[in-house]
Amino acid sequence: MPESKALKYTENNSILGYAVIRKAETGYKIGPLFANNPKIAEELFKSCLSIAPNHSVFLDIPTTNLNAVSLVKKYKGKYVFECARMYYGPSPKIIINAIYGITTFELG
């Protein structure tokens, strides 16, 4: 994808997190940002921010991941909009605490 960058965080040849940042109509969009813990999520987030200095950067977080909420607050992120996740039938078994940025809605 033009004007995008994929990043990964590895230890001992294992991927413990990854993120994608891409140019959007306005600024840049991060998504997905998945990480095994808050430290890895923050390192990936900072790397994404360094790719887009002096630009607006958007990250859609699941507010049920309190570590993602804390990360955004730490970097003085501003609330822009809210979206509800809906399922037909039971919700999927996912590890929400590993999701710091959802895969963006604009894909697909």
> What is the tens place of the pLDDT at every residue in 9-20?
999 999 999 999
CATH code reported for the domain at 4-101: 3.40.630.90
DSSP label of 43? H
**Could you give the percent of the chain with pLDDT greater than 70?**
95
Q: Are 33 and 41 in contact (CB under 8 A)?
A: yes
**pLDDT for residue 81:** 77
Conformational region of residue 38, where left means phi above 0, alpha means psi within -120 to 50, and beta covers everything else: alpha
Is residue 51 pLDDT above 70, yes or no? yes
Tell me, what's the pLDDT at 91?
Answer: 85
Pair 9, 42: CB distance under 8 Å: no
Q: Is pLDDT above 50 for 108?
A: no
Angle, CA of 34, 23 and 29, to the nearest 5°: 35
Please state the φ and ψ torsions of residue 97, each to the nearest 5 degrees: -70, -5
pTM beyond 0.75: the answer is yes
| pLDDT over threshold 80, residue 44 | yes
